[in-house]
Structure 1
Amino acid sequence: MSDLKKNNSHSFMGNVAIVLIAQLMVKILGFVYRIVITNVEGFGDLGNAYYTAGFQIYTVLLAISSVGIPNAMAKMVSERIALKDYRGAHRIFKTAFLLFAGIGIVCSGLLYLCAGFYTNSVISMPGAIYSIKALSPSIFFVCISSVVRGYFQGMNDMNATSRSQMLEQVFKCALTVILVMLVAGQKPEVMAAWANGASSIATLLSFAYLAAFYMRRQKGIKEEIRKTAVESLSYGTGKLMKSILMLSIPISLASIITSLNRVIDTATIIRGIEAAFANGIPAHFDASGTWVDTILSPTAEQLSLEAERLMGMLSKSDTLINMPLSLNFAFATVLVPTIAGALIVGNKKEASSKAAYSFLISIILILPCAIGYIVLAKPIYNVVYFNASQGADLLAWTAVSLVFSALSQTMSGTLQGIGKIYVPAIGLLVGCAVKLVLNLTLIRIPGINIYGAVISTIACQIVAFLISFTVMIKYISFKITVVKYIIKPLIAGGVMGAAAVGVHRLVTLAAGTGFMGNLAATLVAIAAAAVVYLALVAALRILNRDEIEMLPGGAGIYRLLCKIGLYKA
């Protein structure tokens, strides 16, 4: 039996499964409420533009203040736990909580006070001010919640993170829909502000759950602390705060730069589209499906509305793209404490095997999602955004970047675990520079316009992937064979894509081209594609026995595959 099945491997994949299920539920709920509010009368593409614009600067400040906390905490706490220093682990938690509570208050206040300047001077969308102010309180609650989540992640307990995230999303989904429905028919910027206000309330409720979770576990934590004879962590409070910041800031940098990429889009798309269409806005269907003739010599207001409409279309594709990325996020989350804990006790073999396995599973998980989006983009849009279905081709283009984004995400967990915490940020920073240049160049070209933002995103993610991959293979000793990691998954994905298109066309012929016919055809095509893909993954033997048995329920899966003759017992 290989090292993949040793050293609590099942615990590793069990934790991945916990986070993956939580992320799946979170994204499904998020997807549901975005569909609902997008189709509410008066929201549409403009509402999406204001809603998204509010989130852009919010995510930057959130990345600065809190994104690095869970992984930094998980790494530091897991190292203490590996050394049986529970007292030191808890001291890290208490110090981090005080530190980031202060940072959260400052960032929340900064977001609220600077909302007007940002919307008027940076992104030229004055109506987004309400969305930004409504989001500002949530930064504080996310900061302190992240500390609690990171503490339990470091102890390899993913329940605090998964349950609190699911609870937060349930409240966010319900409150967003209720509040937007209550103000339906008002201006899109007002509806978007109420939608974002729901996020602040949901983060408060999530923290309340985490506080209760910690209190329930406090007795057991104190017992472990009493078992610690001597605390091996000899830092003073000031030095410990510095150590936490020195670790969390580099980890946050990757998320900060990712968020800045979105701000670059927001700032450059508006101005780029206005320049591209200065002489005339091409004929198009508006959000309601009404045909709009070419507008010659458009006014500044018409140009601004067209730019906001196109940016809203792009944000719809981002919502769909983020769903599979959230599933893949599970590997990055669990890899950090797993690899850090293995390395601090000198187990390099376990660290390498977990990194290689996660890389392969990410490919198998994300590739069919990307291909599915490419071949079924229009049917999916017609189902999901039935009242605002323009822009499906943007999803098909953006899906190309999905695989590179996901693999970079997985590698960031590995690189952070081995201490190369700056590498993901450096890769994204270089990619961000490429994106900025391409945005400024391509969006202004009338024949490219909004597609320039998609092309620049693909280039950005490829650059970031190549930089992280080059460094990772230098420090993690695992071999990537072209046949296993690239050719076989591409064959499975390609056949799956062809099957999806064929099934969709056949069902459409029988069920018709109306909404219900397209819904039936799309659901059947996705189900058929999933069956075809899984069958080909098994038939091509992309995973060996040990890799299959690493999966939750893997032993049973392997026995079934042996019974049907695809593997040997």
Structure 2
Amino acid sequence: MSKKETFIKGTIILAVAALVARVLGIAQRVPLEHMLNDVGQASFNFANTLYLMLLTVATAGIPSTLSKMISERHALNKPAEARRVYQAALLFAAAAGVIITVLLYFAAPYYATYVAELPEAAPAIQALAPALLLFPAIAMMRGYFQGRNNMTAGGLSQIVEQIARVVTAIGLAYILLRMGYDDKWVAAGASFGGVLGSIGAFAVMLYFAAKLRRTDREAHMPPADRSIPLRGIYKAIFTLSIPIVLSSMAVPAVNFIDNSIVKPLLTGPIGAEAATAALAVLGTRAQSVAGIPPILAIALSTSLIPIISAAYARKDQEHLEQQVTMAMRVAIMTGMPVVIALCTAAYSINGLLFSNLEGTGIIAFLTFGTILQITMMTTNSILLGIGKAKLSMVHVMIGVVVKLAASFLLAPLFGIYGIIGGTAICFLVITALNLRSIKAIVAFSMLGKRWVGFALTVLASGLVGYGLNQAGIQLVHVMPSRLAFLITCLIVGVAVVVVYLVLMVMFGVLRQSELASYPRPLQKLFRPLMRLQPARLRERG
């Protein structure tokens, strides 16, 4: 198998794993939303976002750095040195897991009570803390396997992790609920699913590690070179990974901030009970739905990042410009129809998945802002690809400060929508700073003079989706409501995507002359539609 085929296969495996993980994550939250009241939902969500942020601190950046170091050493025929690097990473993972688990467990009551003003969340945080014992090691193992060109191990472990987590969370929550425990303990039971998920993922990685060891023995691979000092390895790892860690913190940090400030900022204006209800909707419903649009867009655009890195290293300015342009276009064009469909069908999605129709506006508003999240993540990846990780890190830090300031300014005026608006402003600021830095290095154009056609496409698709949703929800008068909402969601989703694609071609946002440069899945999708494009646009570059 060629390097290109191996890379494409790896990208597909990781993208599918991310998609399955996201779907299973929603599958977990839907029944929990039906089982838990507002306090229970808020407790579970707060524990989950705090955990994800700490997990990012403990692992993000290091696996990708480790993958790079391992692949380089194997390419240079230095497998003994690669094994030593892997050993050093596992030692760090063990220490980081113990430290962060202990800190999270013992700090949980204080943080839940005095910072988030949600003392009921403390048991849920403490129940989830043991998962951090294993996840740093799992992350290092995934990085090592990626460095050895094995994406299957990491992808499969991610899927097993989510299955174990979902089954345990729902099962324990149901058992505790039937036994008469109150919601804070039911939420703690649901949180404990993360621990079983980590055990499942670790078991998968151990299986693949044993399999790889057998293969290495048969190939007479030398043992780790213990003469190489750990200090030098750690210096190399942290020099490369710390900027990536902080760049990767944007979304987890924003979600963590939101879950921490909703009650303190909204209790005064709307009361503690209403603030808790808003927090429950934001965490359980809105953040779950809003997590869908970035999956495909980021997977497709990220597949172009190694090409960008290679072009930058060769100082091939023309190719670099083409690939940066393509990465941005792919991210925006594939993300936008999903955003439109989910926003316009937010009412039906809410009615289909959850116990009532409260919070539809919160779901739609947060989901709409994810197009800025997509551009932020893509531009972060481009900066990493051209060796500017520190710039990306600084921009994320500026964005988080802006997020805090905007939330405190807007929350008294617009309530929960002000806090969500602060999130959108944060992503916008990071994107703008990233684009400015990228343009200083390479001239590129996302859509050029096609913005008008793109804007008309988005507007028309949105109007079609909204109109069909308003018509579809009338079906609740003639059939069971959930069936009506399901039918409406399907109609809106299909119609928005079809209208969007047709108009993108007819308005010349997508051009026949550029089709060959797009990823193959998009080529197959767009090629039949190109017959709809006017000849003058089809031939234009």
Q: Mark yes or no: TM-score above 0.5.
A: yes
Q: Distance in 1 between matches of 2:265 and 2:117?
A: 12
Summarize deviations over 1:114-144 as a string: whole Å, max 9, x none.
1112112221211111111111111122111
- For the pair 1:314 / 2:282, whether they are aligned, the reply is yes
User: Among residues 466, 470, 473, which one is paired with 1:501 in the alignment?
Assistant: 466
Higher relative contact order (CA closer than 8 Å, sequence separation 6+): 1
CA distance in 2, matches of 1:166, 1:90: 26
Report the CA distance between 1:472 and its aligned residue. Answer: 2.2
**CA drift at 1:551:** 3.1
Aligned pair partner of 2:47 in 54, 63, 66: 54
Pair 1:223–1:242, CA change in 2 (3 A): farther
- 1:323 matched to 2:323? The reply is no
Code of the residue aligned with 2:143 in structure 1: it is G
Q: Deviation digits for residues 526-553 of structure 1, max 9, x if unmatched? A: 1222222233344446155664575345
Change (3 A) 1:495 1:76: farther
Q: CA deviation at 1:244?
A: 0.8
* One-letter identity of the residue aligned with 2:329: L
Q: Which runs of structure 2 are paired with 1:134-173 in the superposition (5 Å)? A: 134-173=127-166
Quick check: 410-419 or 95-104, which moved more?
A: 410-419
Cα pair 1:363 1:489 within 8 Å, conserved: no
Letter in structure 2 aligned against 1:198? G
Q: Deviations over 1:216-245 (max 9, x none)?
A: 2334556788599xx9x9963211112112
Give the Cα–Cα distance (whole angstroms) in 2 for the partners of residues 326 and 525 of structure 1: 20
CA 168–160 in structure 1, closer or farther in 2 if over 3 Å, else same: same
Quote how far apart the aligned CAs of 1:497 are: 2.0
2:204 is the alignment partner of 1:209: yes
- How many Å apart are 1:85 and its aligned residue? 4.6
Provide the residue aligned with 1:401 in structure 2: 369
Q: Shift of the alpha carbon at 1:390?
A: 0.8
Q: Given the alignment of the two structures, is residue 432 of structure 1 paired with residue 397 of structure 2, yes or no?
A: no
Is 1:218 equivalent to 2:183 in the alignment? no
Counterpart mapping for 1:21-420 below 5 A: 21-40=16-35, 43-81=36-74, 83=76, 85-184=78-177, 186-221=181-216, 236-277=229-270, 303-315=271-283, 316-331=285-300, 334=303, 353-385=322-354, 387-420=355-388
Partners of 1:545 and 1:558 within 8 A in 2: no
Alignment deviations for residues 35-76 of structure 1 (CA, whole Å, 9 cap, x no partner) = 111012xx0332221111112322232121112222222333
Name which of structure 1's ranges 102-111 and 246-255 shifts more when overlaid on structure 2.
Answer: 246-255
Within the candidate set 482, 485, 488, 1:518 is matched to: 485
> For residues 396 and 297 of structure 2, what CA distance do their matches in structure 1 show?
18
Contact 1:14 1:552 in 2 (8 A): no
Q: Quick one: which amino acid aligns to residue 110 of structure 2?
A: F
Contact 1:71–1:150, Cα closer than 8 Å, also in 2: yes
Q: Residue 60 of structure 2: SS of its match in structure 1?
A: helix
Aligned to 1:490: 455
The whole-number CA distance in structure 2 between the counterparts of 1:358 and 1:26 is 24
CA displacement, residues 409-429 of structure 1 (integer Å, 9 cap, x when unaligned): 122222223221122322221
2:369 is paired with a residue whose SS is helix
Please tell me whether the aligned partners of residues 158 and 201 of structure 2 are also in contact (alpha carbons under 8 angstroms). yes
What SS is found at the alignment partner of 1:186?
coil
* SS of structure 2 residue aligned to 1:323: coil
TM-superposition CA deviations, 1:386-440 (whole Å, max 9, x none): x132111112222332111111112222222322112232222112111212222
Aligned counterpart for 1:17 among listed residues 12, 34, 38: 12
Q: Distance in 2 between matches of 1:342 and 1:311?
A: 45
- Give the equivalent residue in structure 2 for 1:290: none
Q: Aligned partners of 2:398, 2:521: CA distance in 1, in Å?
A: 41
| More deviation, 185-194/487-496 | 487-496
The one-letter code sitting in structure 1 at the alignment partner of 2:102 is: G
Q: What TM-score results when the alignment is normalised by the length of structure 2?
A: 0.87
Distance in 1, Cα, partners of 2:428 & 2:73: 36
- Shift in Å, 1:466: 0.8
Flag structure 2 segments of 5+ consecutive residues without an equivalent: none
Shift of residue 93, structure 1, vs aligned partner: 2.2
Per-residue deviation at 1:369? 2.0
Shift of 1:312: 1.0
Displacement of 1:198: 0.4
The letter of the residue matching 2:341 is G
Distance 1:553 1:325 in 2: 17
Work out the CA distance in 1 between the residues paired with 2:229 and 2:466.
Answer: 62
1:454 aligns with 2:385: no
TM-superposition CA deviations, 1:247-285 (whole Å, max 9, x none): 2222111333543333332333212112223xxxxxxxx
SS of 2:293's partner is: helix
What is the alpha-carbon distance in structure 2 between the residues aligned to residue 522 and residue 417 of structure 1? 38
The CA deviation at 1:344 is: 5.9
In structure 2, distance between residues paired with 1:365 and 1:373: 13
Distance in 2 (CA, whole Å) between partners of 1:506 and 1:306 is: 31
What amino acid does structure 1 have at the position aligned with 2:467?
G
Q: Does the aligned pair in 2 maintain the 1:377–1:395 contact within 8 Å?
A: yes
Shift of 1:305: 2.5
Contact 2:145–2:153 at 8 Å: present in 1 too?
yes
Q: Which amino acid aligns with 1:210?
A: M
The Cα of 1:525 is off from its aligned counterpart by 1.6
Q: Residue type of the partner of 1:358?
A: A
Which 10-residue stretch deviates more, 431-440 or 545-554? 545-554
The C-alpha deviation readout for 1:548-568, integer Å capped at 9, x for no partner, is 575345675576457888998
Structure-2 change in CA distance of 1:48 and 1:154 (3 Å) = same
1:352 Cα deviation after fit: 5.5
| Consecutive unaligned residues in structure 1, runs of 5 or more | 1-6, 278-302
Structure 1 position 379, deviation (Å):
1.9
Show the counterpart of 1:465: 431
Partner-residue secondary structure (3-state), 2:415: coil
1:462: Cα distance to partner? Answer: 0.5
Deviation at 1:88, TM superposition (A): 3.9
SS of equivalent residue, structure 1 residue 242:
helix
Letter in 1 for 2:484: G
Contact 2:326 / 2:446 at 8 angstroms: preserved in 1? Answer: no
Question: Alpha carbon RMSD of aligned pairs, Å?
Answer: 3.2
Equivalent position to 2:495, from 509, 520, 528: 528
Distance 1:16 1:208, change over 3 A: same
Residues 120/553 of structure 1: CA separation in 2 closer, same or farther (3 Å cut) = closer
- Checking the alignment, whether the CA contact within 8 Å between 1:74 and 1:337 is kept in structure 2 is no
**What is the CA–CA distance in structure 2 between the aligned matches of 1:492 and 1:13, rounded to whole Å?**
30
Q: TM-score, normalised by structure 1?
A: 0.83
CA distance in structure 1 between the partners assigned to 2:113 and 2:332 by the alignment = 42
Figure out how many residues of one structure are paired with residues of the other and give that number: 529
Measure the CA separation in 1 of the matches of 2:509 and 2:148.
Answer: 35
Residue 91 of structure 1 and its aligned partner are, at CA, apart by 3.2
In the alignment, the residues of structure 1 paired with residue 474 and residue 322 of structure 2 have an alpha-carbon distance, to the nearest angstrom, of 48
CA separation of 1:268 and 1:401: change in aligned 2, threshold 3 A: same
Q: Is the 8 A contact 1:435 1:459 kept in 2?
A: yes
What CA distance in whole angstroms lies between the structure 2 residues aligned with 1:420 and 1:339? 12
Structure number with the higher helix fraction is 2
Residue 348 of structure 1: how far off its partner (Å): 6.9
- Range with greater deviation from structure 2 (70-79 or 418-427): 70-79
